[in-house]
């Protein structure tokens, strides 16, 4: 295993960390209906934890509501329970065929609270990226210590890892800025 392998695996891990931040951001409600709000909720479907998107279609017919149509009517009750138990703060209406979820507009106070939550999520993402950087640098240092790679190659590898870290932290910051704009726009 060389420095290029370490840098390559670090790039993949950092991409996954940014994707995780993006998924978390998708779960934060911005006052507009979006299928991602409920698609990742898990329900107990015949004894198996299953995401809603695998048992139903979710549509946003307008900016203030979601319509969930389960392929199996048994799943409707479980989807309703999952929505009630989630941190969305909405009440679904189940008519036996579809579930309608009204998405009320957010108050100014709630928007500011959510902006803080999103900021914390972004910070956790940045910490995760720094942890990946530290582990990669440790691997490169070990390769150098074991004389598996020359010192200049190890230095270049650490420089590449730092550039990757800077790139992905900037990406997280961009996602945070975009999400805050969504949250604070009425």
pLDDT value for 114: 82
Q: Are residues 154 and 136 in the same domain?
A: yes
pLDDT value for 8: 92
- Is the residue at 19 inside a domain? yes
- Is the residue at 144 inside a domain? yes
pLDDT value for 113: 81
pLDDT value for 186: 62
| Domain boundary pick from 102, 124, 153 | 102
Q: Is 7 left (phi over 0), alpha (psi -120 to 50) or beta?
A: alpha
Q: Are residues 144 and 52 in the same domain?
A: no
Q: Are residues 115 and 155 in the same domain?
A: yes
Q: Are residues 66 and 113 in the same domain?
A: no
Please tell me the distance from the alpha carbon of residue 112 to that of residue 184, in angstroms, as a whole number. Answer: 8
3-class DSSP assignment, residue 87: coil
- Is the residue at 156 inside a domain? yes
Q: Are residues 81 and 118 in the same domain?
A: no
What's the chain's average pLDDT? 88
Q: Are residues 19 and 66 in the same domain?
A: no
pLDDT value for 177: 94
Q: Are residues 50 and 142 in the same domain?
A: no
Could you list the residue range(s) of the whole structural domain that residue 168 is in? Answer: 3-26+107-184
Q: pLDDT by residue (tens digit) across 104-156? A: 877 888 788 888 888 999 999 999 999 999 999 999 999 999 988 898 999 99
Reported confidence tier of residue 10, pLDDT bands at 50, 70, 90? very high
Share of the chain above pLDDT 70, in %: 97
Across 7-24, average pLDDT: 92
Please tell me the distance from the alpha carbon of residue 162 to that of residue 183, in angstroms, as a whole number. Answer: 31
Please tell me the distance from the alpha carbon of residue 73 to that of residue 168, in angstroms, as a whole number. Answer: 43
Q: What is the pTM of this model?
A: 0.69
Q: DSSP label at 65? A: E
- Is the residue at 77 inside a domain? yes
pLDDT value for 63: 82
Q: pLDDT by residue (tens digit) across 57-83? A: 999 888 888 999 989 888 888 898 888
Between 8 and 64, the higher pLDDT residue: 8
CATH number for the domain spanning 123: value is 1.10.132.20
Reported confidence tier of residue 163, pLDDT bands at 50, 70, 90? very high
How many independent structural domains does the chain possess? 2
Please tell me the distance from the alpha carbon of residue 132 to that of residue 110, in angstroms, as a whole number. Answer: 33
Reported confidence tier of residue 184, pLDDT bands at 50, 70, 90? confident
- Is the residue at 31 inside a domain? no
CATH number for the domain spanning 52: value is 3.30.1360.40
Please choose, from the candidates 8, 1, 4, the residue with its C-alpha nearest in 3D space to the C-alpha of residue 153. 4
Q: Are residues 84 and 112 in the same domain?
A: no
Q: To the nearest 5 percent, what fractions of the chain are helix, strand and coil?
A: 60, 15, 25
């Amino acid at each position: 295993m060389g420095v290029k392998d370490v840098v390559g695996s670090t790039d993949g891990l950092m991409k996954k960390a940014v994707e995780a931040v993006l998924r978390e951001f998708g779960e934060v409600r911005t006052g507009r209906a979006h299928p991602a709000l409920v698609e990742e909720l898990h329900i107990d479907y015949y004894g198996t934890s299953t995401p809603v998107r695998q048992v139903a279609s979710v549509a946003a017919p307008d900016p203030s509501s979601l319509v969930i149509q389960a392929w199996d009517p048994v799943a409707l009750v479980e989807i309703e329970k999952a929505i009630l138990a989630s941190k969305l703060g909405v009440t679904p209406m189940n008519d036996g065929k579809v579930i309608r979820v009204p998405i009320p507009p957010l108050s100014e106070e709630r928007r500011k609270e959510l902006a803080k939550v999103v900021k914390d999520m972004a910070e956790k993402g940045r910490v995760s990226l720094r942890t990946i950087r530290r582990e990669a640098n440790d691997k490169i240092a070990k390769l150098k210590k074991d004389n598996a790679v020359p010192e200049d190659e190890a230095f270049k590898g650490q420089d590449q890892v730092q550039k990757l870290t800077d790139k992905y932290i900037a990406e997280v910051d961009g996602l945070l800025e975009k999400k805050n704009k969504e949250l604070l726009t009425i």
